[in-house]
Chain A
Amino acid sequence: DTEVTQTPKHLVMGMTNKKSLKCEQHMGHRAMYWYKQKAKKPPELMFVYSYEKLSINESVPSRFSPECPNSSLLNLHLHALQPEDSALYLCASSQVGPNTQYFGPGTRLTVL
């Protein structure tokens, strides 16, 4: 089973809202990732968690706040977003190290 799940599938929020994106995997992977993807562009790495600790932060604005409550779950908390933050947000997981990353279906986020 190589399934990564993400909720919600779609999210529309205003610039003053607070919302959270959720990601879950049960493959025993200890590395989990958040990516942002705009139309016709490749995914851009935002955050990497390894063994539930933040390992890589690609200088993402503080209005995005990641959280890894346990080895299976990854959250992305959103606050005071801008319309340009509208994108497909992808979660991925892998074994630690230079291994295959498996992507979830993504959350399509629209900021009004």
Chain B
Amino acid sequence: QKEVEQNSGPLSVPEGAIASLNCTYSDRVSQSFFWYRQYSGKSPELIMSIYSNGDKEDGRFTAQLNKASQYVSLLIRDSQPSDSATYLCAVINQGYSSASKIIFGSGTRLSIRP
């Protein structure tokens, strides 16, 4: 079982709709969760970070965390063509007292169709 799992996609969503990206993780002691957006040929860009159960909203983006179900999601409202990218779910586990080791999912390719 992979430590962080995402559907690879592509996920195709019409412009203006809500895009829903999902991620599950295997280590119950995971404590920090991130969503990165990566355009082709570019570096990952932080979209959201979430540390506690519930929802966290930032503009058109909402991250949701459910530690009991070991599930984290990203909702993108009013999807725009510029949202077309690969979205990487990332998790940091406890146990690294000095340096943090991110575990990345394989990424979900999102395509917003006009």
User: Residues of A at under 8 Å CB distance from B?
Assistant: 2, 31, 33, 41-43, 45, 48-51, 55-56, 88, 90, 94, 96-106, 108
Is B25 an interface position by the 8 A CB rule?
A: no
Interface presence of B53 (CB below 8 A): no
Quick check: B104 and A51 within 8 Å, CB to CB? no
Closest-by-CB residue of A relative to B91 is A98
Take A42-B88, A99-B32, A105-B43 as given contacts and tell me if A50 and B107 are in contact as well, using a CB distance cutoff of 8 Å: no
| A residues near B105, Cβ cutoff 8 Å | 42
Task: State A37–B10 Cα separation when bound (angstroms).
Answer: 20
Find chain B residues with CB under 8 A from A108 CB: 41
Using C-beta atoms within 8 Å of the partner chain, give the interface range for chain B.
Answer: 20 to 34
A residues in contact with B44, CB < 8 Å: 43, 90, 103
Give 18 A-B contacts (CB < 8 Å), ordered by A residue. A2-B46, A31-B98, A41-B106, A42-B106, A43-B88, A45-B101, A48-B99, A49-B99, A94-B100, A96-B100, A97-B100, A98-B31, A98-B96, A98-B100, A100-B34, A101-B34, A104-B43, A105-B43
B-side residues, CB < 8 A to A, are: 31-32, 34, 36, 41-46, 49, 88, 92-94, 96-102, 104-107
Q: How far is the CA of A55 from the CA of B100 in the complex (A)?
A: 10
| Beta-carbon contact of A102 and B46 below 8 Å | yes
